[in-house]
Each structure stands twice: as C-alpha cells, then as structure tokens.
Amino acid sequence: AGAEAGLEATAYFAPERAGYSSSAQACVVDVDVETGRVDIVAYAVGHDCGTLINPLLVDGQIYGGVAHGLGNALYERPVFDAGGQPLTTSYLDYALPSAREVPRMVTVHLETPSPLNPLGVKGAGEAGTLGAPAVVAGAVEDALRPFGVRITELPLTPPRIADLAAEAGSP
C-alpha cells in the first residue's frame, strides 16, 4: 500500500587515527567579593586547527566557543524539581551570556596541517568551548586566593561567589 524506496545507501568512515586540534587559553578577571560580580579584564586563545582556510570564520568559531564556555562557567545552571522536571525552562530563569559579557580577546592561530586529510584541517569550534570553563574558574580562584577560596564546581554565579568569599572570611 505504498511505494517502496528506490534509492538507499549506507556508508561508514573509520579513519585509522583522529586528527585533534589543540588550544591554550588565559584569562584575567576582577571579582567584586561583596556582589560576586566577575568582570573579564583580558582573554587570550592560542590554537592550532591545522590549515587555516578562512581566519575570520575560525575567529567566529573561537569567539562562539568561548561564549558557550563562559556560560558554562558563570551563568548556566539547570534546576529540576524533586520529580526531575526542569524548572529553568526559559531565558528568564536560565541565564546565558550575551555579546556584552563576551570579552574582546587575543587569538593566535598556529598552523600544523593534519596529515590525515587532503586539506590538512582539524576542528576549530572545540578550542573555545572546552578551555573556557576551566580557565575562568582558575582565574576566579586566583582572584579569591587571599580569602583561601577553592573552586570545586560550576557555575560561579554572583551569589555563589559572594557566599564563598563571605564563608572564607577576610583576607
């Protein structure tokens, strides 16, 4: 009772090994211990995504990835009720960084072509996302070092930072 599919294809790609990109990030922050506000003063990303075909697009991938990582580090906190239903279901109660919170940053492009494909390319978007939560948490912990604060979980929301500083006492 219907037409059978006429064209069907299945394909698999199993490379002998993967071509990984790499990156390093640095961040300097100012932290207001009374309000918990974090201002990013300086941010830098050095990365190697193989052959750089379009630097502007790669910069966009880096900026977008860092924005995502900043959200993980400072804003995004899913909340659920006792039955497992999400309570943070809109942009009113699930905070995300806007363009205003994403700092200007220095990006350094390194090019080590991958031998695993004809263009020599590697991934670019991961570089910003993966490093940002750790580097921001490290910068906040460094800023709060005089208080003896140790960062062990994310996100570092303003109330959480203010509470950590208050619990630790004066420097």
What topology is assigned to 36-168 in CATH? Aldehyde Oxidoreductase; domain 4 (3.30.365)
Range name among 17-21, 65-69, 83-87, 158-162 with the lowest pLDDT average: 17-21
Tell me what the mean pLDDT of segment 36-44 comes to.
97
3-state secondary structure at position 46: strand
Domain borders along the chain are 36-168
For 99-132, b where at least 16 C-beta lie within 10 A, e where not — what string? eebbbebebeeeeeebeeeeebbbbbbbbbbbbb
The angle at the Cα of 56, spanning 105 to 122, to the nearest 5 degrees, equals 95
Q: Would you name the residues annotated as active-site residues?
A: 126
Q: Is the pLDDT of residue 2 over 80?
A: no
Tell me what the mean pLDDT of segment 13-19 comes to.
80
Per-position DSSP letters for 67-91, written without gaps between them:
HHHHIIIII----B-TTS-BS--ST
Find, among 72, 80, 130, 79, the residue nearest to 97 by Cα. Answer: 72
Q: Is the pLDDT of residue 21 over 90?
A: no
Q: What is the pLDDT of residue 1?
A: 64
Tens of pLDDT, residue by residue over 64-92, are 999 999 999 999 999 999 999 999 999 88
Q: What is the pLDDT of residue 68?
A: 95
Tens of pLDDT, residue by residue over 96-152, are 999 999 999 999 999 999 998 899 999 888 888 899 999 999 999 999 999 999 999
Q: What is the pLDDT of residue 4?
A: 79
